[in-house]
Amino acid sequence: MEEELLLDLEVILEASASLRRIRQLHVVLSAASIDSRIGRRHKNWTLITSQHDAVLARTEIDAYLSEQVTEIRIKSGAEISTRSAYIGVMVYLAIVSITMYLQETSRINDALQRAGEMQSSGVHLGQWWRCFTALTLHHDVAHVVGNLAMGGLFGWMVSKRLGAGLAWLVILTAGGLGNGLSGMIRDPGHVSIGASTAVFAALGLLTADSSFGRSQTHESNRRRWLPMISGVVLFSWTGLGGPNTDVLSHLMGFCSGIAIGAIISLNDSMGTRLIKQHQGWSAIIAIILLATSWLVGFASLT
């Protein structure tokens, strides 16, 4: 008899001012075939069950609440990722557009060209900043519009995979590396400008992420290399046309993007995970790198 009385004792599992919350938890327990009832104590609504079912009921509620927190975090992360991806693209569009606007002024354009154009002779002399500054300069409106469209699209896609801050830092780095490699190979008299090297670096990053950033245990070799083949085909279609196309710079940017993208995709170290978590610092570093390049470029004119 005493044992029966003990089993009938009731336990308050949850107390909340929100009746909706208590009702949700009541439904959760009902779905798990656990008896419970809603009560009222002071100013709070309560969820009550028998002492016999208390442990099992508590487990069910904790599991449900944990799932809700996980879903909220996933949704929040997706929203932040999408918002930051758009912000990254807008910053890219703004930088390139403003630079093109400044180029329309002949006096400023002359200084911009001398300080920032990609000169192979300058690269041979260690003028590293030209590898980055040249990415923001363009010949004319048609040239800049094409790079704005393709760069914005590829940049947004890379941002959705790596995070906006890391994406644009890597795109800038790979684009600069592509220009540097091209400059070292070219004749010293070669001069070029344009964001297209960074655009194809972004394409290389996408190609590498699709090829290496996935579980390939059960995939055939053909399916494993399909993204890489697709990237090469897309590069051939968009990067080789036109009489004034700088094919070598495009190719170096594309290869640099693949190389850096493969390192990121295949490296699952703690450092890599921390970098992906701190997107803001990556964005700041990218801005500092580009700003410093221009400052050093202008300083070289004096």
Q: What pLDDT does 115 receive?
A: 93
One domain for residues 290 and 152: yes
Q: Please say which residue of 42, 68, 94 terminates a domain.
A: 68
- Residues with Cβ within 8 Å of 285's Cβ and at least 6 positions away in sequence, in order, are 169
In a domain, residue 41? The reply is yes
Rounded to 5°, angle at Cα 41 from 35 and 43: 130
Domain's final residue, options 52, 68, 84? 68
Q: What is the pLDDT along the chain (302 residues), one digit of tens a residue?
A: 333 433 456 788 888 888 888 888 888 888 888 888 888 888 888 888 888 888 888 888 888 887 776 655 545 444 557 888 999 999 999 999 999 999 887 778 889 999 999 999 999 999 999 999 999 998 888 888 888 988 999 999 999 888 899 999 999 999 999 999 999 998 888 999 989 899 999 999 988 888 776 544 444 455 555 556 655 666 665 555 555 667 888 889 999 999 999 998 887 665 566 666 778 899 999 999 999 999 999 999 87
Helix axis angle for 164-185 and 196-212, nearest 10°, is: 120
Q: Does 126 lie in the same domain as 191?
A: yes
Residue 248 lies in a domain: yes
CB-count exposure of residue 291 (10 Å: 0-12, 13-18, 19+): exposed
How many H-runs (helices) and E-runs (strands) does the chain carry? 13, 5
Identify the pLDDT of residue 238.
58
Task: Please check whether residues 148 and 229 belong to one and the same domain.
Answer: yes
Residues 296, 163: Cα–Cα separation, whole Å? 29
Q: Is residue 150 domain-resident?
A: yes
Asked whether residue 252 is domain-assigned, the answer is: yes
- Give the structural domain span for 39: 2-68
Q: Tell how far CA 116 is from the center of its chain.
A: 27
Asked whether residue 87 is domain-assigned, the answer is: no
pTM: 0.70
Domain check: are 62 and 131 in the same one? Answer: no
Q: Give 259's contacts (C-beta < 8 A, 6+ positions apart).
A: 174, 204, 208
- Provide CB contacts within 8 A for 199, sequence distance 6+: 147, 150, 151, 154, 175, 253
Q: How far apart, in whole angstroms, are the C-alpha atoms of residue 170 and residue 181?
A: 16
Task: Answer yes or no: do 6 and 108 share one domain.
Answer: no
Domain end call among 20, 41, 68: 68
Q: What stretches of 24-178 adopt beta strand conformation (E)? A: 37-41, 44-50, 118-119
The count of domains in the chain is: 2
> Are 152 and 240 within one domain?
yes
Q: Do 148 and 242 fall into the same domain? A: yes
Q: Classify 108 as helix, strand or coil.
A: helix
pLDDT of residue 2: 36
Give the CATH number of the domain where residue 8 resides.
3.30.70
